[in-house]
Structure 1
Amino acid sequence: MLDLVQLRSFVSIAQFGSFTLASQKLGLRQSTVSQHLQRLEEAIGRRLIDRDTHGVRLTADGEALLPHARELLALERQTASLFEGEKPSGRLRLGISEDLVSGQLPTLLREFIADYPAVELHLTVALSKDLADMQDKGDLDLVFAKRRLGDRRGEAILREPLVWLAADPEAMMEKTVLPLIVFPPPSLTRTLLMEALERAALPWRIVCSCQSLSGLTAAARAGMGVLVQPRSLAPLGLRELPPSALPKIEDVEFILVASPGADQNTVTAFNRLVRERVANALHSTR
């Protein structure tokens, strides 16, 4: 029989790509997390994770186990919710970064509403900086967005590389002036890619600026230029440019930020769902 504690450690290692980060997030010693993995591998009789100087990666057996492990942990969460003393209820004003709309958001909202029907969900989709401003004004209870490395706002859920994407990468690499498809200010992604281009002293021009990710994606698929997105959220129909083609962009972190006055039961329930579904789903697409 599979041990849920061991599975949770395995999923956390897969999610963060690091024994150290997994142990920090779980509140356990690193040796304990390693022991959980060892016992799980012994119970299954298969090696699940390989370690080398570059970090950790799932084996083929680990990749096969991961979705089932997530399902078992989700079932545990749903079962526990049936017996919670005080179930989440009332209004939750939720802010979601535009980057996440085309990814796991529909599944996330569907599961949250199914688990907690007494919660009245109000959804706002915007750029991360705009969401932070709205939250500071008291208009949002919980925000799921991005921050740049080193920022202190919120609790980091996942670190992601930003990558250059295009419908035809080879054609973009031949451009003497790089055509950019970007969010308008105050987009964090826009700021970071501009900084990377300035450091490399590469010429560029903006050919499309749009508040909506669907609009930017349409422009990129039409071959208008290059779009930058977190690697695991790369839209279908776009391919990543080779690392040597354009300068490396600073990574970003996805974060959860709860307002002081938000209902803690509701915030805790949503945070748990994000960790079990969204973060793991983002990692599994790498």
Structure 2
Amino acid sequence: MLSPVQLRSFCAVVESRHFTQAARRLGLRQSTVSQHVARLEAQLGRVLLMRDTHHVQPTADGETLFGFAREILDVETRICAWRSGSERRARIRFGVSEDLTLDRLPGLLSRFIEASPWIDLDLTVGLSGHLRQSLDAGRLDLVLAKVPAATPGAEESRLHLLWRERPVWVGDPRPAPSDDAPLPIVVYDDLASITRRLAIASLDTAGRRWRLAGTSGTLTGLLAAVRSGLGVSLQSRQVLAAGVTMAPEGLGLPEPPELAFVVYGRSARLQGPAARLAAAIIDGAEVLRGPSVAKP
């Protein structure tokens, strides 16, 4: 059994990169902190820290233990709070863009809820623009959504970038439109939709004629229209997890601008449960993004 006291000393050294500063932070003697680390190394049979006269750096084993140690100490803190009755239930009003709910996000949220049983998660799924409005109005605490990659700087201060991607055209209209016929497109019926605006702007810029072949207030409705062969739709790559296919290159569709997937709150500095959930999302960004998709 690893000692939480020794783990706390080890984490303080890793975080401060100095034994003296770690000891000062913990209110211990430097020799005591050194003994704690030495005992950990002896117990585990691993070298955890690389030391010189000025700095301390964790080894590869030290980095691994540091991650485990933070989890152990976090659990210990929660148990102590639970025993004392000081841990109160918290609530996060969380808004998510609908395309992000199709594949990997449910698993991430399930793990978060399991690790944070005192947090009540209220989920709102909707268009990215409407989620931002709800956040600014105080109806949400945290938003995971997409924005145009060229979002102005005043807004960027509170946005935590997860990844950028170029949206894709999905669908294969039946019958295939002739070269001189308007392209049938499927879009959200809400003018606030980012992908609707990008699709129409991209087609207009390319001089490509188009017509509305289908509209819906939900992504489920859009994808049903696409699968039916009513037209093409511009969406994030997340929708490919729902089984739709990319549009054939023979349609000659224009390349749209990039989107940025971001997590953000009402201010640049997140605190409390919202900060905890944001950290879990940032840590899981690569999983949420999924593998890159090659053109057919």
Normalising by structure 2, report the TM-score: 0.64
8 Å Cα contact 1:88-1:266 kept in structure 2: no
Shift in alpha-carbon separation, 1:223–1:244, aligned structure 2, 3 A: closer
- Show CA shifts across 1:100-135 (max 9, x none): 121223212211111101001111111011011111
8 Å Cα contact 2:214-2:222 kept in structure 1: yes
Gaps of 5+ in 1: 1-38, 41-71
Residue in 2 that maps onto 1:91 = 91
Residue in 2 that maps onto 1:209 = 215
Give the Cα–Cα distance (whole angstroms) in 2 for the partners of residues 88 and 250 of structure 1.
45
Give the Cα–Cα distance (whole angstroms) in 2 for the partners of residues 74 and 220 of structure 1.
44
Give the Cα–Cα distance (whole angstroms) in 2 for the partners of residues 230 and 148 of structure 1.
12
Q: How does 1:134-149 map to 2 (within 5 A)?
A: 134-149=134-149
Identity among equivalent positions (%) equals: 29
Shift in alpha-carbon separation, 1:186–1:255, aligned structure 2, 3 A: same
Of the candidates 151, 155, 164, which is equivalent to residue 159 of structure 1?
164
Residue in 2 that maps onto 1:233 = 239
8 Å Cα contact 1:93-1:123 kept in structure 2: yes
- Show CA shifts across 1:227-283 (max 9, x none): 111124323132343298111100100111112499713122212221233433414
8 Å Cα contact 1:95-1:142 kept in structure 2: yes
Bigger Rg over Cα:
2
* 2:75 maps to amino acid: L
Give the Cα–Cα distance (whole angstroms) in 1 for the partners of residues 273 and 291 of structure 2.
27
Shift in alpha-carbon separation, 1:195–1:84, aligned structure 2, 3 A: farther
Shift in alpha-carbon separation, 1:163–1:261, aligned structure 2, 3 A: closer
* 2:201 maps to amino acid: E
Query: Aligned pair 1:251/2:258, yes or no?
Result: yes
Give the Cα–Cα distance (whole angstroms) in 2 for the partners of residues 242 and 74 of structure 1.
46
8 Å Cα contact 1:92-1:120 kept in structure 2: yes
8 Å Cα contact 2:226-2:233 kept in structure 1: yes
Shift in alpha-carbon separation, 1:259–1:177, aligned structure 2, 3 A: same
Residue in 2 that maps onto 1:218 = 224
Structure 1 window deviating more from structure 2 (237-246 vs 201-210): it is 237-246
Give the Cα–Cα distance (whole angstroms) in 2 for the partners of residues 233 and 78 of structure 1.
34
Shift in alpha-carbon separation, 1:118–1:208, aligned structure 2, 3 A: same
Count how many residue pairs are aligned between Structure 1 and Structure 2: 218
Shift in alpha-carbon separation, 1:214–1:248, aligned structure 2, 3 A: same
Shift in alpha-carbon separation, 1:88–1:237, aligned structure 2, 3 A: farther
Gaps of 5+ in 2: 1-58, 82-86
- Show CA shifts across 1:45-87 (max 9, x none): xxxxxxxxxxxxxxxxxxxxxxxxxxx9997875564245678
Taking only aligned residues, the RMSD between alpha carbons, in angstroms, comes to 3.3
8 Å Cα contact 2:96-2:123 kept in structure 1: yes
Residue in 2 that maps onto 1:182 = 187
- Show CA shifts across 1:6-25 (max 9, x none): xxxxxxxxxxxxxxxxxxxx
Q: CA deviation at 1:174?
A: 5.8
8 Å Cα contact 1:147-1:255 kept in structure 2: yes
Give the Cα–Cα distance (whole angstroms) in 2 for the partners of residues 180 and 73 of structure 1.
51
Shift in alpha-carbon separation, 1:141–1:205, aligned structure 2, 3 A: same
Shift in alpha-carbon separation, 1:207–1:90, aligned structure 2, 3 A: same
Q: Which has the higher contact order (CA 8 A, sep 6+)?
A: 1
Query: Aligned pair 1:199/2:192, yes or no?
Result: no
Give the Cα–Cα distance (whole angstroms) in 1 for the partners of residues 168 and 110 of structure 2.
29
Normalising by structure 1, report the TM-score: 0.66
Q: CA deviation at 1:192?
A: 1.0
Of the candidates 229, 247, 264, which is equivalent to residue 271 of structure 2?
264
SS of structure 2 residue aligned to 1:217:
helix
SS of structure 2 residue aligned to 1:218:
helix
Residue in 2 that maps onto 1:27 = none
